Structure 1
Amino acid sequence: MRVQIIAVGTHGDVLPMVAIGVELALRGHAVTLAAPAPFAASAVRAGLSFHALCTQAEYDRLIGTPNLWRPWRGVQTMFEAVASLAEPTYRWLAAAQATGGSVVVASTLGLGARVAQDKLALPVVVVHVTPFLMESRYAPPRLPGLPLPRLLPARLRHWIGRGADRYVIGPAALPILNAFRGTLGLPPVQRLRHWWNLAPTLILMFPGWYAPQQQDWPAHALQVGFPTADRLGDTPELPEDLVAFLRAGSVPLVFTYGSGMRQGRSFFETAMRICRRMGRRGVFLAPQTGQVPSNLPPGVIHVPYAPLTALLPHAAALIHHGGIGTVALGLRAGVPQLIVPVAFNHFDEAHRLKALGVGTSLSRRRFTPARGARVLGRLLASHDVAAACQLLRIRAAADDGIGEACDAIERAGGLQVGGR
């Protein structure tokens, strides 16, 4: 079976799709990954063929846009960018189909795959990695920059959330997307968050214990476990200097603000002061040195990237932005988490961690050295938090999200599970 994988986004969006590609290749399928140019190296290390959907410069320009990291402006900026990728994605898929059919697997933002499904009747599998993408009248996700009281009826919160389609998502994405669809003779999309769920196969890569299935979710949606994919990133192992650091002292706090963040300076400055105030060692993960203060004290180390599956077993707590990939790896490691949300799904993931009893959140404004140290101190001292972390660590370890997703993809391609 030939499989074309479309992955649009940052590490948390792309690496799960790389992991799916690796597993499918191990099952004997021919896999090609199409993603932004910066992920070419990850694809090559994983043994996958690669096609760039945009250049390194185009990707850096988007990631470096300050508005991307604001609750509502970030949504607008992102959807304008991903809508512009729909046409090159479609053109690549259409050209590949001329040499023979294949199954198409697309991340949420790979909109060109859904266009190809509508125009070319391709077998398309859409993969959502966060429950934030699932609308529900019974359990609506928490939207960025819109802290609605939980006392409001769920249906009212859902109705208010639908305004995001009309006033934010639609105006950003639909003019570009529908203009392209018009050139293909396709009708316009009315509501993006409904349309992207119309793929024949819809995979939700988060377990039911994290986000229980709702009765108004699409009936054909298949919920599987979290993916584990961070070793497919910039390096599969811990850097030597980090290994030496971990061996040299007490268990550290781990701070990261995500692979795509370019405005994390104040976060890491606060993190440095928290470590000093608490007398704790710290590990700062940030891809650019400009985000991290140059005068780090002894006991604090900065590394551009480290796989959390290898690092977190040596950590006391994880402090981060709230990306679903980071959340999932923190749950798998059984460490308390403090989220300082930025935009997108971060606020919803923070709410879910609090409900599970394994973490809490502070707004960027409230994330100060004194308050951050107090909150972390309470998390680390709580027996209830420790017990909840260990329970969910066991649950997460039992999940095989990648394997279950690949089983569904094989079924979509008309094969028996296992590639036979």
Structure 2
Amino acid sequence: MRIHLVAIGSHGDILPFLAIGAEFLCRGYDVILAAPAPFADHAARIGLPFHSLGDDCDYRRITADPELWHPRRGAAALFGNMAAATEQTYRWIAANARKGQSIVVASTLAFGARVAQEKLRLPVITIHAMPLLMESRYASPILPGVPLPAWTPSRVRHWVGRGADKYVIGPAALPTINAFRQELGLKPVRRLRYWWNSPSRVLLLFPDWFAASQPDWPQQAMHVGFPIADRFGDTDRLAPRLTRFLKGGDAPLVFTYGSAMRQASGFFRTALAICERLGRRGVLLAPEHGQVPESLPETLIHVPYAPLSVLLPRSAALIHHGGIGTVAQALAAGTPQMIVPVAFDHFDEAARVKRLGAGMSLSRRRFTPARGARRLRRLLASAEVARACGDLRLRLDGLDGVAAACDAIEQMAPRRRDGGRAVRP
């Protein structure tokens, strides 16, 4: 059997698939990953066969779009760009996967995999990385760009979400998807957020205590837990100068606004001012040049990337955008976090972290040096937050969402009539 992994997105979307691919290689499977071109080197480092979806210019063009990071307009920009990759993804699967000999494991935005499931009758598993992707009348997630008060009933948030389907998400994605489906003789998709769930199996890369199952979730949905996959990023170790910096003083504050963010200069200027006000050392994680001030005091250091599972246990707090992968790393490390949401799932993750007692959130507008410093001082002094973070770290200790995901995928594997596993022809 050959496992075709298909992932579309940025680091937070791709790293779990690299981890799953590495685990299947260790288990002796024939596996290949199709993902955006910039992740080819990541796959090569672990010996994972790779197919590029698009090129480096495509990835830079999408991530550089300022509309992508707007709380309201970001959804239209995201889904429009992702729908454009539907045909390319489908063509690759159609040319390489074989019924009875292959299984396709696809991220939420790999719409071409769902088309292949319907047209080619291939076994497809959908992987959702964040609770935002699971709509529910009973526990509707917090939507980006919709300033509803915290006490708003879930059914109202759900109703607003259905409106977003009709007026934002659908118009951005469905014309492209349905035009291609028509070429293949398939009926049009009416609602993307329902259709993107594979009817065979949906794996949720978060534990049930982070987002519990709801009565109206798809019955085929299954929690597997957080995939701690940062070691599959740009490097699996700390840069020597960062190691020296950590040894040179107190535990620092760590600031990051995500791997794909290209409009974070204001965030990092505020980070610098907060560290000065608090008299704290700081680590600024930003892959792009021009995001961080060129001249930094000796108490701050800028590095493009660092594996959070190594860095956070040696840090005082994490201040970040609220991506699910970053949230999971902080929970696993027992590190207090302040979330400054940008778009997409960030607002929902912030609410969940606050509910767990593991941190707090602050809007981008209110993230100023004075207010940010006051909130961080309170966060760092809170015995309740420290206790909650410690409890959550112990709760996640030893759990492996990657292994659990691979176990679930193996259960779906095609089998030969003699009872053995299907093999690659």
Aligned with 1:203: secondary structure? strand
Aligned with 1:104: secondary structure? strand
Q: Structure 1 residue 414: deviation in Å?
A: 3.8
Residue in structure 2 matched with residue 259 of structure 1 by the alignment: 259
Q: Structure 1 residue 285: deviation in Å?
A: 0.3
Q: Structure 1 residue 150: deviation in Å?
A: 2.9
Query: Which amino acid is the alignment partner of residue 245 of structure 1?
Result: F
Distance 2:393 2:293 in 1: 33
CA 1:353–1:99 in structure 2 vs 1: closer, same or farther (change >3 Å)?
A: closer
Residue in structure 2 matched with residue 24 of structure 1 by the alignment: 24
Q: Structure 1 residue 395: deviation in Å?
A: 1.1
Structure 1 segment 17-96 matched on structure 2, within 5 A: 17-96=17-96
Residue in structure 2 matched with residue 204 of structure 1 by the alignment: 204
Distance 1:67 1:342 in 2: 11
- Whether the 8 Å contact between 1:27 and 1:418 is mirrored in structure 2 is no
TM-score norm. by structure 1 comes to 0.98
Residue in structure 1 matched with residue 343 of structure 2 by the alignment: 343
CA 1:88–1:290 in structure 2 vs 1: closer, same or farther (change >3 Å)?
A: same
Structure 1 segment 129-144 matched on structure 2, within 5 A: 129-144=129-144
Distance 2:99 2:386 in 1: 55
- Whether the 8 Å contact between 2:231 and 2:237 is mirrored in structure 1 is yes
- RMSD (Å) for aligned C-alpha atoms: 1.6
Q: Structure 1 residue 151: deviation in Å?
A: 2.3
Residues 1:248 and 2:253 aligned together: no
Query: Which amino acid is the alignment partner of residue 325 of structure 1?
Result: G
Distance 2:373 2:310 in 1: 25
Aligned with 1:32: secondary structure? strand
- Whether the 8 Å contact between 2:165 and 2:191 is mirrored in structure 1 is yes
Q: Structure 1 residue 417: deviation in Å?
A: 12
Residue in structure 1 matched with residue 225 of structure 2 by the alignment: 225
Write the deviation string for residues 362-397 of structure 1: whole angstroms up to 9, x where unpaired.
Answer: 111100001001101111101000000000011122
Residue in structure 1 matched with residue 402 of structure 2 by the alignment: 402
Residue in structure 1 matched with residue 104 of structure 2 by the alignment: 104
Query: Which amino acid is the alignment partner of residue 77 of structure 2?
Result: T
Aligned with 1:162: secondary structure? helix
Residue in structure 1 matched with residue 155 of structure 2 by the alignment: 155
User: Sequence identity of aligned pairs in percent?
Assistant: 60
- Whether the 8 Å contact between 1:114 and 1:199 is mirrored in structure 2 is no
Alignment gaps of 5+ in structure 2:
none
Residue in structure 2 matched with residue 287 of structure 1 by the alignment: 287
CA 1:205–1:263 in structure 2 vs 1: closer, same or farther (change >3 Å)?
A: same
- Whether the 8 Å contact between 1:130 and 1:324 is mirrored in structure 2 is yes
Distance 2:352 2:207 in 1: 12
Q: Structure 1 residue 316: deviation in Å?
A: 0.1
TM-score norm. by structure 2 comes to 0.97
Write the deviation string for residues 105-157 of structure 1: whole angstroms up to 9, x where unpaired.
Answer: 00111110000001001000110010010001111000001121232222122
Residues 1:191 and 2:191 aligned together: yes
Residue in structure 2 matched with residue 124 of structure 1 by the alignment: 124
- Whether the 8 Å contact between 2:103 and 2:414 is mirrored in structure 1 is no
Aligned with 2:392: secondary structure? helix
